[in-house]
Amino acid sequence: MAEHDTPLLPVMTLGTEGAGKTVYLAMLYKALFADYARRGYVISTHLHVAQTLNFLAQEVNKPGLDWPESTSSIHRDLDFSCRVSIGGEQIEVLRLRFYDYPGELLRDARTRAELGDELDERVASAHAIIVMLDGREILALLRGEPRGEEYVNQSLVPIIQQAQRPRCPMQVVLTKWDLLADAGYTLREVRDRLIEVNIFRGLLYDRLSKSGKNRLIPLSAVGRDVVELREAPDGSERMVKRQGRELNPINIDVPLAVILPDRVEQAMALLSPTTLRKLERKLARMRRRRTRKGIHLFGRTFFESTAEPLTEAIFLRFLDAPTAKFVTTLVVSAFRAGSAQRATDPEGDTPESDADEEQSSAMSAQAAFVRTLAPHSEQVMRLLMDAFDRRVQRFENDCPGWDLAEGLADWERRDQEVNLS
């Protein structure tokens, strides 16, 4: 796939200094540059970026007090290429661009004056927002410590303000999850406490109207039982890495895995009832032709006849042209697959052969992709999306308490019971 044809999804991480934005990117690259865990894909980046991230990962791996320094005045793009292997060749399928910036930008007035406009532009053009909450500060909130309340009332406010602006999908990442888990807290307990915070609850209400699933993702760059909090001479607590403990990051790949499926789900939600009816009628006409050639070329024929109006009318408002073409075709293919399962022959005959029907039914929202982007593109995209789907499904099964919408509904129910009592 030619580089200029590869969809590029800008991703914006929102978090204050010390939340772990840069450490996350370093450990993400370390975990995914080779497929030793058999995820089904790898990520690559430019050599100088890889060298920087490798150095940061080594700092994380050292026992003791040493941690990578927070990003200072440097703000830069970090591009990652998602690749799958076919026939011994790694093929680029998707590019992700993370913007690394000093966390002080969200709070410090001077830094904000220097870089604030660029940050606003990056947020507005993002395809995914990752809100990064500092797990150490959330632990303090759960314990009723003053620093926890200060974090919520000061540091969290500019994060929420930025996260409310774009319409793209948003996930909330809880960094340093190991501290909370080692202290005995469950994800559901943390979620419920966060939803009690007015500004956080307001963000969730705002996001429910803009995107699909909003997840709370517990993430640790080091894993359980690696870090302990020790009291320093000045009375503060320091995060200290224990000697002889092997790092075992938790959910380091999940924020990446949800980006494309969530973007596609949001794009499908943008289809108006009128557009859906037009697609349904076109599908019905094409199915009545009932030729094997028509069935075999169904995806391409359908794409060529509908992609242009769909792209211009819906997706080009907020997507670049290659990505708009990419997402449009996926949405059309997904809709086609769903309609194929519901359709019946208007004359009462059975639809296509069992093999054709089975093939159509097997095409899911994340399985049928653009045939025109590159040779083997459908196979390549299916491999990547299946890998993402498997990981997201495993996360949702293994981490009860991830669903922020569910948590919001629970809070409303409890609040109503209190008001009625």
What local confidence, expressed as pLDDT, does residue 93 receive? 85
pLDDT at 376 over 60: no
How many residues would you count in the chain?
421
- The least confident of 155-169, 244-258, 263-277 is 263-277
- 242 DSSP 8-state letter: P
- The least confident of 82-96, 183-197, 249-263, 376-390 is 376-390
Strand partners, 241: 64, 227
More confident residue, 205 or 357: 205
pLDDT at 362 over 80: no
pLDDT category at 333 given cuts 50, 70, 90 is: low
Report the 10 Å Cβ neighbour count for 167. 16
Rounded CA separation 24/252 (Å): 7
Name the nearest CA neighbour of 297 among 372, 373, 380, 375.
Answer: 372
User: What amino acid occupies position 17?
Assistant: E
Mean pLDDT of 212-231: 90
| pTM of the shown model | 0.77
What local confidence, expressed as pLDDT, does residue 38 receive? 85
pLDDT at 221 over 90: yes
What local confidence, expressed as pLDDT, does residue 312 receive? 41
Mean pLDDT of 254-269: 84
Report the 10 Å Cβ neighbour count for 311. 18
User: What amino acid occupies position 96?
Assistant: L
Beta-sheet pairing, 76-86 with 42-44: antiparallel
Rounded CA separation 140/243 (Å): 25
Rounded CA separation 85/395 (Å): 24
Mean pLDDT of 105-120: 67
Return mean pLDDT, the chain.
76
Mean pLDDT of 7-20: 87
Could you tell me where the beta strands, DSSP code E, fall in 175-293?
Answer: 216-218, 227-231, 237-241
Mean pLDDT of 340-354: 45
Mean pLDDT of 166-174: 91
- The least confident of 101-115, 187-201, 251-265 is 101-115
Could you tell me where the beta strands, DSSP code E, fall in 234-304?
Answer: 237-241
What local confidence, expressed as pLDDT, does residue 199 receive? 94
pLDDT at 189 over 90: yes
Rounded CA separation 74/100 (Å): 8
Could you tell me where the beta strands, DSSP code E, fall in 67-219?
Answer: 76-86, 89-100, 128-133, 170-174, 216-218
What are the residue boundaries of the structural domains of the chain, listed by start? 3-251+399-416, 266-394
Q: At 377, is the secondary structure helix, strand, or coil?
A: helix
Beta-sheet pairing, 76-86 with 216-218: unpaired
- Tokens representing residue 188 in the block: 């559901």
What local confidence, expressed as pLDDT, does residue 19 receive? 85
Domain 3-251+399-416 has CATH 3.40.50.300: yes
Rounded CA separation 152/136 (Å): 12
What local confidence, expressed as pLDDT, does residue 392 receive? 94
- Tokens representing residue 273 in the block: 């009832």
Query: Which residues have a Cβ under 8 Å from the Cβ of 76 and sit 6 or more positions away?
Result: 99, 100
Percent of the chain with pLDDT over 70: 66
pLDDT category at 277 given cuts 50, 70, 90 is: low
pLDDT at 290 over 50: no
Q: Which residue has the tokens 């981490």?
A: 399
Q: For 65-111, how does the pLDDT look when each residue is reduced to its tens digit (9 = 90+)?
A: 667 666 554 557 889 999 988 777 788 888 999 987 766 666 666 65
Report the 10 Å Cβ neighbour count for 413. 10
Of all helices (H) and strands (E), which one includes residue 10?
Answer: strand 8-14
Q: For 132-146, how does the pLDDT look when each residue is reduced to its tens digit (9 = 90+)?
A: 999 999 999 999 999
Rounded CA separation 107/110 (Å): 9
Name the nearest CA neighbour of 339 among 273, 280, 281.
Answer: 280
pLDDT at 246 over 80: yes
